[in-house]
């Protein structure tokens, strides 16, 4: 390795060789994470775009499909995720103050809340399989009386709603699984005491990712569960 004068000045073990100082490294990581989240917005954006168009075209079918979703479980899951965002936000604070035990506790709490969400989501998915609401050859849907007597419901088109339901919640759940894995790794390092007031970027960035996944759900919940629920 050729010697580089700038490295000699810094003492933080977490600093990488090609950065001039910790501040530059922190800013780079933070900008990188925000840009990554921008790509995620575009990634989910494709599905939200499809949702927008089809819901505009097939509103009665979307309403009928939406009513078969369990609003109670959806609401509980929303609450669970909001709580997990709180524990993440607190964990960043704990890392900044170098409180190792508190940090580990909060990260473990986040992981548990994430797992609760995934468990509930799994129960919901399983019931959809039992009701034959999964798009494909075994799809079957008995339309209840439509909310407006003049609207006809085409059972085939309800498959579009459920296709979007499974694609959107499925990819969201995949992001949750990745997030839980990420926090498991961070918990290990936090337990070993890697993070302190000078170096907490990984916690902060994982937190940003988690908040993003949370926000996606905040949109998914009303869009999928709360169509035409009045009365």
Residues near another protein, by CB under 8 A = 1-2, 4-6, 16-18, 20, 24, 27-28, 31-32, 35-36, 38-40, 42-47, 49-50, 53-54, 57-58, 61, 135-137, 154, 156-157, 159-160, 163-164, 166-167, 171
Q: Which is nearer to another protein, 5 or 149 (CB)?
A: 5
- In angstroms, how far is CA 82 from the centroid of its own chain? 11
What six digits make up the tokens of 153? 């419901």
State the nearest-atom distance from the C-beta of 205 to another protein, in Å.
Answer: 12
Cα–Cα nearest to 113, from 79, 89, 90: 79
What six digits make up the tokens of 210? 């988690």
What six digits make up the tokens of 226? 């709360």
State the Cα–Cα distance between residues 206 and 55, nearest whole angstrom.
33
State the nearest-atom distance from the C-beta of 116 to another protein, in Å.
Answer: 26
State the nearest-atom distance from the C-beta of 7 to another protein, in Å.
Answer: 10
State the Cα–Cα distance between residues 139 and 185, nearest whole angstrom.
40
Q: Which is nearer to another protein, 2 or 150 (CB)?
A: 2
Neighbours of 220 (CB within 10 A): 21
Q: In 138-154, which ranges are continuous DSSP H helix? A: none
Neighbours of 183 (CB within 10 A): 27
State the nearest-atom distance from the C-beta of 32 to another protein, in Å.
Answer: 5
Q: Which is nearer to another protein, 39 or 150 (CB)?
A: 39
Neighbours of 198 (CB within 10 A): 14
Q: Which is nearer to another protein, 98 or 155 (CB)?
A: 155
Q: Which is nearer to another protein, 119 or 170 (CB)?
A: 170
State the nearest-atom distance from the C-beta of 128 to another protein, in Å.
Answer: 13
Which residue carries 């169509």 as its tokens?
A: 227
Angle (CA) 95 96 100, round 5°: 35
State the nearest-atom distance from the C-beta of 147 to another protein, in Å.
Answer: 19
Q: Which is nearer to another protein, 138 or 150 (CB)?
A: 138
């Amino acid at each position: 390795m050729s010697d580089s004068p700038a490295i000699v000045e810094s003492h933080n073990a977490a600093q990488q060789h090609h950065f001039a100082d910790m501040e530059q490294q922190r800013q780079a990581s933070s900008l990188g994470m925000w840009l990554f989240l921008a790509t995620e917005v575009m990634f989910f954006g494709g599905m939200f775009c499809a949702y927008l168009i089809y819901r505009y075209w097939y509103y009665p079918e979307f309403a009928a499909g939406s009513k078969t979703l369990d609003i109670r479980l959806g609401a509980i899951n929303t609450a669970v995720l909001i709580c997990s965002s709180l524990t993440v936000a607190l964990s960043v604070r704990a890392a900044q103050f170098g409180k190792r035990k508190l940090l580990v506790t909060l990260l473990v709490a986040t992981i548990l809340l994430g797992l609760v969400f995934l468990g509930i989501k799994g129960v919901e998915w399983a019931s959809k399989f039992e009701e034959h609401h999964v798009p494909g050859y075994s799809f079957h849907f008995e339309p209840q009386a439509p909310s407006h007597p003049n609207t006809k419901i085409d059972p085939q088109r309800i498959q579009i709603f459920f296709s979007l339901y499974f694609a959107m919640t499925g990819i969201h759940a995949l992001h949750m699984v990745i997030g839980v894995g990420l926090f498991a790794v961070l918990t290990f390092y936090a337990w070993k005491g890697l993070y302190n007031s000078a170096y907490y970027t990984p916690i902060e960035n994982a937190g940003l990712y988690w908040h993003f996944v949370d926000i996606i759900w905040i949109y998914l919940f009303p869009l999928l569960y709360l169509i035409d629920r009045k009365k």
